[in-house]
Amino acid sequence: MEYNTTRNHLTMREYGRHIQKMVEHLLTIEDRERRQRQAQVVIELMGFLNPHLKNVEDFRHKLWDHLFYVSDFKLDVDSPYPIPQKETYKAKPGPLPYPKRYPKFSHLGKNLELVIDKALNEEAPEKRQGFANAIAYYMKLAYTNWHKDTVHDDAIQSELNNITKGQLEFTNTPYVKAYRMQPEGRDNRGGYGRQQQRGKFGQRNNGGGQQRNDNRNNKFGNKKRFK
């Protein structure tokens, strides 16, 4: 009986013990042509056992890399792809440089500052005004997301004047207004509020339920009376 404790280390569990034994057998084949043919067979079997690799780009390249990795890079066969080296296969990549940008206004972000700088450098009046309207719309959207509350246009214009030193003014007041509830339960879009709708439906359900209960009580009451 052969136990796992007496076996060698399983290099890649995705392929199992049988594939590893096949690769170990490839190392013992002296005829290079026969070893090459057997390596092709092992590659096909590895792809058959892991069909999910077919969705990966260059999956056959990955299979060949895995074949050399299982053999501890000792297999001497021809590969259609560059043969990986043991020294570089497990080498850790260098750290990616993280962009160090320090926005002046953290709640608005660095990208908005770039848009503001581009708007200030714009000479065409129409494009400059369009930049100002887009900036104001984004500022109101950011304020609503962070504070979960509406903000007046004057506050947005005041903050925009503070950032640009009074060089930008937006004019798209109808487009940046937040929805506010009007009297009689209507908002400025012409629809009813949720609370009023729930109230109407609640009254109807409560009334219907009360009427059904009264009918049921009268029905049972009448039966008891006749008895």
pLDDT digits (tens, 9 = 90+) for 67-116: 999 998 999 999 999 998 888 877 787 888 887 777 777 777 778 888 88
End-to-end alpha-carbon separation of the chain, Å?
A: 86
pLDDT confidence bin for 142, thresholds 50/70/90: confident
Q: Residue 26 has what pLDDT?
A: 93
192 three-state secondary structure: strand
Orientation angle between helical segments 153-164 and 110-120, nearest 10 degrees:
70
What pLDDT score does 33 carry?
Answer: 93
Q: What is the pLDDT of residue 31?
A: 93
Instruction: Please return the burial class of 74, using the count of CB atoms within 10 Å of its CB with bins 0-12, 13-18 and 19+.
Output: exposed
Distances (CA, A) of 129 to 66, 115, 152, 154: 58, 13, 20, 17
The vertex-155 CA angle with 129 and 109, nearest 5°, equals 70
Lowest mean pLDDT of 45-59, 148-162, 174-188, name the range: 174-188
Triad 198, 201, 205: Cα angle to 5° = 130
Percent of the chain clearing pLDDT 90 (strictly above): 19
Rounded distance, CA 20 to CA 24, Å? Answer: 6
Write out the two tokens for 86.
Answer: 């043991």
Tell me: pLDDT of 180 over 50: no
What is the b/e burial string over 30-64, where b = at least 16 CB atoms within 10 angstroms of the residue's CB? eeeeebeebbeebbeebeeebeebeeeeeebebbb
CA angle 148, 151, 157 (to 5 degrees): 140
**pLDDT of the residue at 218:** 53
